[in-house]
Amino acid sequence: DTAVSQTPKYLVTQMGNDKSIKCEQNLGHDTMYWYKQDSKKFLKIMFSYNNKELIINETVPNRFSPKSPDKAHLNLHINSLELGDSAVYFCASSQVTRGVIQETQYFGPGTRLLVL
């Protein structure tokens, strides 16, 4: 009964390939996120998404695209992978209710991507 799950856990691929990471949450939350954690452990928001609004961090290359088939899923597609894309990618979810400022984000276990 994992709250936020990601697949795969590990992903090793060659430069130039296209890959996807899947994320599912069973918490009934309305907002999902993708974060990138680099080798220095810096956790940085890439996207946040609910059924109304996609917010893209302007520093994220357009090779990265989130796709949400439904409210419980937010997948991450990466085109033309580069060496610098190697990192741990975390999915997270929260229930964002206007007027409630302390909503908690729950993180998935992470996907460790290595681009060779």
Contacting residues toward other proteins, per CB under 8 A: 31, 33, 40-45, 48, 50, 53, 55, 90, 94, 96, 98-99, 101-110
Q: Which of 44, 38, 49, 36 is nearest to 94 (CA)?
A: 49
Quote the CA–CA distance of 76 and 1 in Å, as a whole number: 22
CB of residue 50 vs other proteins: minimum separation in angstroms?
Answer: 6
CB of residue 53 vs other proteins: minimum separation in angstroms?
Answer: 7
Comparing CB distances to other proteins, the nearer of 40 and 83 is 40
Quote the CA–CA distance of 89 and 66 in Å, as a whole number: 13
27: amino acid identity, one letter? L
CB of residue 71 vs other proteins: minimum separation in angstroms?
Answer: 14
* Sign, CA torsion 23/93/4/40: positive
Comparing CB distances to other proteins, the nearer of 14 and 59 is 59
